[in-house]
Chain A
Amino acid sequence: MTTMDARSMGTSVRRIEGPDKVTGTATYAGDSVADGTLVLHPVQAGVARGEITAIDTAAAQALPGVVAVLTHRDAPTLGDTGDPEHRVLQGTTIHHRGQYVAAVLAEHAEVAAEAARLVVVTVDENPSTTGFDPDAQAYTPSALANGQPPDSGVGDPDAALAAAPVVVRASYATPMEHHNPMEPHTTTATWVDGRIEVFEATQGVESSRQTLATLFDAEVVVHASHVGGGFGSKGLHAGTVLAVLAARTVPGRPVRFALGRRQMFETVGYRPATVQHMALGASRDGRLEVVTHDVVGATARYKEFVEPAGGSTRSMYAAPHRRTSHRAVPLDLDGPTYMRGPGEAPGSFGLECAMDELAVALDLDPIDLRVRNEPEVHPENGLPFSSRGLVECLHAGAERFGWSSWDRTPRRRLVDGWWHGVGVGCGTFPTLRFPGSAAEITFTGGRYVVAIGAADIGQGARTVLTQIAADALGVDVGSITVEIGSTQVPVGSIAGGSAGTASWGSTVVEAADRFRDKYGENPDDGDHADAATPDNPWAGEYAMAAYCAQFAEVAVHADTGEIRVPRLLGMFGVGRILNPTLGRSQLQGGMVWGLSMALHEESVVDPRFGEVINHDFAGYHVASNADVRVVEAEWIDEDDPYINPMGAKGIGEIGIVGVSAAIANAAYHATGVRVRSLPITCDDFLTSGLL
Chain B
Amino acid sequence: MSTTIPLTITVDGEPRDLDVDPRTTLLDALRDRLGVTSTKKGCDHGQCGACTVLLDGRRVLACLTLAVAKDGADVVTANGLATDGELHPVTEAFLANDAYQCGYCTPGQICSAVGAIDEARQGMPSAVTSDLTGEVTLDRTEIAERMSGNLCRCAAYVNIVSAVEEASRA
Contact = CB atoms under 8 A, between A and B. Distances in A.
* A is bound by B: yes
Interface in A247-287: 258, 260-261
B78 interface: yes
A458 B78 CA distance: 19
Contact of B47 (A19, A30, A618): A618
B37 A33 contact: yes
A25 B79 contact: yes
A404 interface: no
Given A585-B101, A628-B144, A109 B43 contact: no
Contacts of B100: 15, 18, 21-22
Nearest to B41: A258
A622 B43 CA distance: 13
A225 B160 CA distance: 24
B148 A229 contact: no
- The secondary-structure label for the interface of chain B is loop
A111 B21 CA distance: 9
B157 A24 contact: no
B104 A589 contact: no
Contact of B2 (A111, A592, A624): A111
Contact of A628 (B48, B82, B158): B158
A626 B148 CA distance: 6
A109 B20 CA distance: 12
Nearest to B35: A33
Contact of B154 (A226, A589, A624, A625): A589
B79 A23 contact: yes
The range of chain A's interface size is 35 or more
B11 to A, nearest CB: 12
B69 to A, nearest CB: 15
A31 B161 CA distance: 28
B47 to A, nearest CB: 4
A182 interface: yes
Contact of B21 (A110, A184, A261, A596): A110
A25 B38 contact: yes
A43 to B, nearest CB: 18
Nearest to A113: B23
Interface string A434-474: 00000000000000000000000111100000000000000
A64 interface: yes
B6 to A, nearest CB: 16
Contact of A27 (B1, B37, B106): B37
B42 A23 contact: no
Contacts of B41: 30, 184, 258
B42 A585 contact: no
Contacts of A401: none
B44 to A, nearest CB: 6
A250 to B, nearest CB: 17
A39 to B, nearest CB: 8
B151 A622 contact: yes
B102 interface: yes
Contacts of A179: 153
Interface string B157-169: 1111100000000
B18 to A, nearest CB: 12
A108 B37 contact: no
Interface residues of B, number: 57
Interface stretch (B54-62, B90-98, B117-125, B131-139): B90-98
Nearest to A264: B43
A28 B104 contact: yes
Contact of A19 (B24, B77, B95): B95
A308 to B, nearest CB: 23
A106 to B, nearest CB: 11
Which of the listed residues A111, A457, A585 has the most CB atoms from chain B within 10 Å of its own CB?
Answer: A585
B67 to A, nearest CB: 11
B153 A631 contact: no
Given A24-B78, A622-B153, A628-B158, A108 B45 contact: no
Contacts of A30: 31, 37, 41
A28 B103 CA distance: 10
Contacts of B105: 182, 228
Nearest to B145: A626
Interface string B15-48: 0000001011000100110010111111111011
Contact of A581 (B32, B43, B98, B152): B98
A596 B98 CA distance: 21
A589 B38 CA distance: 24
Contacts of A183: 40, 42, 102, 104
B155 A22 contact: no
A476 interface: no
Contacts of B159: 585, 588
A20 to B, nearest CB: 8
Contacts of B24: 108, 110
Interface string A20-54: 11111111101101000101000000000000000
Contact of B95 (A18, A591, A618, A623): A18
A19 B103 CA distance: 10
A65 to B, nearest CB: 6
Contacts of B44: 260-261
A260 B25 CA distance: 15
B98 A228 contact: no
B107 interface: yes
Contacts of A37: 32
Nearest to A110: B23
13 contacts: A14-B98, A23-B78, A24-B39, A24-B106, A27-B37, A39-B32, A182-B105, A182-B154, A183-B102, A229-B154, A258-B41, A590-B155, A616-B45
Q: Which 9 A-B pairs have the closest CB atoms?
A: A24-B38, A228-B104, A458-B102, A21-B103, A592-B155, A24-B107, A458-B101, A617-B47, A31-B37
Given A24-B77, A30-B31, A33-B31, 8 more contacts: A23-B87, A182-B154, A228-B104, A258-B41, A596-B155, A617-B47, A626-B148, A631-B158
